[in-house]
Amino acid sequence: MADLIIKRGHVITINGGVIDNGVIVVDNGIITHVGKDTKEKADRVIDAKGCAVLPGLVNAHTHVSMTLLRGAADNFPFKEWLDKIQQAEMKLTPRCVRAGAYLGVLEMIKSGTTAFADMYFHMDEVAEVVRETGIRASLGYGMIEGMNEEPEVKLKNRAEFNLKWNGAATSRISTMYAPHSPLSCSKEFLLRVKEQAARDGTGIHIHVLETEDELGSMKEKYGMCSVNLLDSIGMLDSRTIAAHCIWLSDGDIELLKNRNVNVAHCPTSNMALGVGTAPVPKMLDKGVNVALGTDGAASSGSLDMWNEMRAASAIHKSKGNNGITPRKLLEMATVNGAKALDINAGVLKPGCCADIIIVDTGKLQLVPGDIYSALVYGVSGFDVRTTIVDGKILMEDYEVKVLEEEKVIEGARKAALKIDGDN
């Protein structure tokens, strides 16, 4: 007998089209059957009539605990925004980071994100929240060179974090080394990070060419841009997530493709901070694996991946091209993100992790219409009915099972007030 059967939904497999009135069978955290029917029995059966059933969304770049800084520096140019945010971050205690992680994970579960790639500090707190709640995550303990910590100590601490958490929580947690950017870390330090990551068998998560200032500074300092610098030390490969990648040349795009680098596109944050528009249609045309991320809620405003799909559509159409199709946007938010995080998810097929969401498609804004267009342009996080990770139901019929929502919200409010009260 299987653990779970989901029946009578519009099954969006991502890799194989749509199965109307479809059935998904889950056993021991793995999808064992996807089709029109089954003779299998299960301990739990979910009737998904009137709903779309699809892979959980994957947030390929965020700073989850920045939920506490939502609205803290709105409407400022990037440099002023960054200064205000960094001042606030200096007041974040481990307890604050945990409160922000609870809030962010709650928001992701409620909006259908089943896995995320995070980069921040006090990351043991985030890892504990991930372990407790059942969501999936790739966690990188951020590194900025200096910051009152010697490079040897910094690398030792990050190595200990990786040793402790990589593969934890029945492999729902993986780890990456997370140097902040080529602008905040020297070439020598980045080389040491790359060598440590290779020894530990983990990937790299790093900001790349988010601003035009970064491009100019790197060329002035090294005579080359960030992409070429990272390539010169061997940091670009299939286990690298390069966030933003806005100020790319055609040659940079070719290099990212040849090195199989994963790019995390964060359109809402990029627009909010006025830093530019990544050449995503060009990257997709070249075959670069482009995923979607929200960045931190201090810039994007939310961790709702449905917002990112709509933003990615609008921002590229506004540049005078045909933009990105709804189907491709869903791929970016699911299978491309799963590839970036190196997890066996993002599609609905036998053998994949049972990371599944159920979305109510009976809402008026979704009727009528092509199912892919309806999902991308009509759905918000509030339309996600059920969220499942590793076969475990984290939210059912809009009720989160793994967190006390009121308690999480109250804890986040208290932590945010403490930060504000220190001003």
In this predicted structure, the answer to whether residue 411 has a pLDDT above a threshold of 70 is yes
Buried/exposed 304-329: b ≥16 CB within 10 Å, e otherwise: bbbbbbbbbbebbeeeeeebbebbbb
H or E stretch covering 357: strand 356-360
Q: Are 9 and 358 in contact (CB under 8 A)?
A: yes
Which of the two residues, 403 and 365, has the higher pLDDT score?
A: 403
Give the lowest-confidence range in 10-14, 76-80, 116-120, 224-228. Answer: 76-80
Please count the helices (runs of H) and the strands (runs of E) in the chain: 17, 17
Q: Is residue 101 within 8 Å of residue 129, measured between CB atoms? A: yes
Domain residue spans of the chain: 2-55+347-400, 57-341
Give 362's pLDDT tier (boundaries 50, 70, 90). Answer: confident
pLDDT digits 0-9 by tens, 182-193: 999 999 999 999
Fold of 2-55+347-400: Urease, subunit C; domain 1 (2.30.40)
Least confident residue range of 57-61, 141-145, 245-249, 403-407: 141-145
Phi and psi for 18 in degrees, rounded to 5? -115, 135
CA separation for the pair 422, 170 (Å, rounded):
39
How much is the average pLDDT of 1-17? 95
Secondary structure of residue 60 in the 3-state scheme:
strand
Q: What is the mean pLDDT of residues 257-282?
A: 97
Strand extents, DSSP E, 238-307 = 240-244, 262-265, 289-292
End-to-end CA distance of the chain: 58
The average pLDDT across 31-47 equals 96
Q: DSSP alpha helices (H): ranges in 90-171?
A: 94-111, 123-133, 151-165, 168-171
pTM, rounded to two decimals: 0.97
Of residues 408, 421, 383, 422, the one with CA closest to residue 99: 408
CA distance 179 to 105: 23
Closest CA relative to residue 57, chosen from 265, 335, 261, 325: 335
- Averaged pLDDT for residues 309-320: 92
Summarised one tens digit per residue, pLDDT across range 93-138 is 999 999 999 999 999 999 999 999 999 999 999 999 999 999 999 9
Number of CB atoms found within 10 A of residue 96's CB: 23
pLDDT of res. 368: 66
The kind and range of the H/E element at 67 are none
Which residues, in sequence order, are bridge partners of residue 30?
A: 27, 353
Q: How confident is the prediction for the chain on average, in pLDDT?
A: 95
3-state DSSP percent of the chain in helix, strand and coil, to 5:
45, 25, 30
- Tell me the mean pLDDT in the region 64-81: 93
Which phi-psi region, left, alpha or beta, contains residue 107 (left: φ > 0; alpha: ψ -120 to 50)? Answer: alpha
Evaluate whether 143 touches 180 at the Cβ level (below 8 Å).
yes
β-strand pairing of 173-179 with 203-208:
parallel
Architecture of domain 57-341: Alpha-Beta Barrel (3.20)
Give pLDDT, residue 62.
Answer: 98
pLDDT in tens, 379-408: 999 999 999 999 999 999 999 999 999 999
**pLDDT for the residue 147:** 67
The predicted structure's pLDDT at residue 423: 42
Does 57-341 match 2-55+347-400 at the fold level?
no
User: What's the pLDDT at 34?
Assistant: 98
